[in-house]
Amino acid sequence: MVEYIDPRCHKITRFKKDKNSDIYGLGVLLWEITSGRPPFSDYLRDASYALSIKICYENLIENPIVGTPLRYQQLYQKCWDEDHNIRPDIEEVYEILSQLSQLTTDESLDLQFNNNVEECQNCDSDFNDSKLHELSIGPDSKNLLIIGLTSCGKSTLCNVLSETDVFRESESSVSETSNHQKKYFEVDGTKYCVVDTVGFKHTKLSTKEILDKIEEGIYSMPEGISQILYVIDGRFTKDEIRIFELLENIIFESGILEYVTFVKTKFGNFKSQTERKKEKYKILEGNEKIAKIVNSCKDVVYVDNPPINIRIYDDDDRDDIERNKKTRTKSRTILLDHLEKVCQENHFELKMWKELYPKIIKYIDDDIEAKLDKELEKINIQE
């Protein structure tokens, strides 16, 4: 039954269930115990496909039942959390349930009575306002998918665009982002949703796992993608060039370049038109196929997003932070002006991605197999 199935089973091609998937179903069962009815019982049984779409792509979940002990409610909500890495293991579930079962009747009643009060007293008003603002933005936002290599400045770009610090910034080559992260924001009446994804060349994930993680990010925007921002902080690497060469035919046949902007970040001379032209020339002269792809996309945008999470020791550090904030603000203006021009009503729709993804996987699998064949051939020659 779709109500108890981990949404990843529907969103990710060839997804294999794991223990986190079982915990998701357990969380739904724990909610059902408090409600006394099956989940989403107001939906017709023959409308399971429509229900699965709402659960997977609109994050549809059941509301807590009034009077539910707060800790029990937090447990089942953690079990069905969209981020599967946050979900508890079965030992933690058992421990919390055991502790709750040992409460006296009076303690249990106190928990039930104080549930809503405790939530309101402990909540951060700014956090609540932020959540309400996100809900008010709704599904008609301009959806931005941010991709690029690890440590290229993707997460920083997301913070700059959304004017927040919710995305973890790092200059390290060690991967910080292990799952997609989404943030809504609004600028002069235009609504945006920015999704940060796992970086290519993630230090702990295979190519297939990285693509699956990116696919999760894509499916978190059921309306489709308004613009893909491909972030680079220097020249295209050998790995990037190889991927583009490998997928050249797919890239052009799919029409996806109509929705792609390359963002050159960490570019100190971003305000100089002469320097921007020089930099674009350097990008284009490096590789003929890269030049063809870059010239076919929406454009290359140049920005600089220097760090503001600097440890402060003296006034010089404070001055650096203020100067960097001003630079980031200028970069944001450039990005938003560009997005205002290129984000039209059309989206790169999910059905188009569904057709594209298996082709990408096949090309990568074939490439890996070809590499293995070459290695085996070398070994045979040596023998």
Q: What is the pLDDT of residues 343-372, one digit of tens each?
A: 877 788 877 777 887 877 777 766 655 665
Residues 6+ apart with CB under 8 A from 199: 148, 149, 150, 151, 152, 154, 175, 177, 210
pLDDT score, position 84: 84
Query: What average pLDDT score do residues 168-187 get?
Result: 73
Pair 114, 139 in one domain? no
| Number of structural domains the chain divides into | 2
64 and 142 belong to one structural domain:
no
DSSP secondary structure code for residue 7 in this structure: T
Domain limits at 334? 134-369
Q: What angle do CA 137, 141, 144 make, to 5 degrees?
A: 125
- Measure the CA–CA gap between 361 and 183, rounded to whole angstroms: 28
Examine the domain organization and report whether 12 and 143 are in the same domain. no
**78 and 18, same structural domain?**
yes
Q: Is 290 found in the same domain as 238?
A: yes
Residues 59 and 194 both lie in one domain: no
Percentage of the chain exceeding pLDDT 90: 28
The pLDDT tens digits for 203-227 are: 567 777 788 888 888 877 878 899 9
Contact in structure between 25 and 1 (CB atoms under 8 Å): no
Render 145-193 in DSSP notation, one character per residue. EEEEBTTSSHHHHHHHHHTSS-S----SSS----S-EEEEEEETTEEEE
Residue 44 lies in a domain: yes
Q: Which residues, in sequence order, are CB contacts of 261 under 8 Å at separation 6+?
A: 227, 228, 229, 230, 297, 298, 299, 300, 301, 338, 342
- The closest alpha carbon to 206, from 86, 87, 356, 364, belongs to 364
- DSSP assignment letter at 138: -
Q: What is the mean pLDDT of residues 127-147?
A: 60
The answer to whether residue 163 is domain-embedded is yes
Per the DSSP assignment, residues forming a β-bridge with 229 are 146, 261
DSSP state of 220: T
Answer with the one of 91, 122, 153 that is the final residue of a domain.
Answer: 122
CB atoms within 10 A of CB 364: 16
Domain of 103, CATH number, reads: 1.10.510.10
What's the whole-model pTM score?
0.63
CATH of the domain at 344: 3.40.50.300
Is there a domain that residue 383 lies in?
A: no
Q: Is residue 22 part of a domain?
A: yes
Categorize the per-residue pLDDT at 120 as very low, low, confident or very high, splitting at 50, 70 and 90. Answer: very low
171 vs 159: CA distance, rounded Å: 14
pLDDT band at residue 232 under the 50/70/90 scheme: very high
Neighbours of 158 (CB within 10 A): 27
91 and 206 co-located in one domain: no
Q: Output helix, strand, coil percentages for the chain, rounded to the nearest 5.
A: 55, 10, 35
Q: Does 378 reside within a domain? A: no
Last residue within a domain, chosen from 96, 122, 148: 122
CA pseudo-torsion sign 369, 373, 374, 379: positive
What pLDDT, on a 0 to 100 scale, did the predictor assign at position 249?
82
- Residues near 178 by Cβ (< 8 Å), separated by ≥ 6? 85, 198, 202, 204, 205, 213
Are 178 and 289 in a shared domain?
Answer: yes
User: Domain check: are 149 and 233 in the same one?
Assistant: yes
Verify that 20 and 79 share a domain, yes or no. yes
What distance in Å separates the CA atoms of residue 153 and residue 147, rounded to the nearest whole number? 10
The answer to whether residues 219 and 345 belong to one domain is: yes
Residue 380 lies in a domain: no
Q: Is the domain of 144 the same as that of 118?
A: no
Give the end of a domain, one of 74, 94, 122: 122
Residue 127 belongs to a domain? no
Name the pLDDT band for 376 (thresholds 50, 70, 90). Answer: low
Mean pLDDT of 324-329: 96
Smallest CA-to-CA distance from 90 within 16, 3, 15, 29 is with 29
Q: Per the domain annotation, does 147 fall within a domain?
A: yes
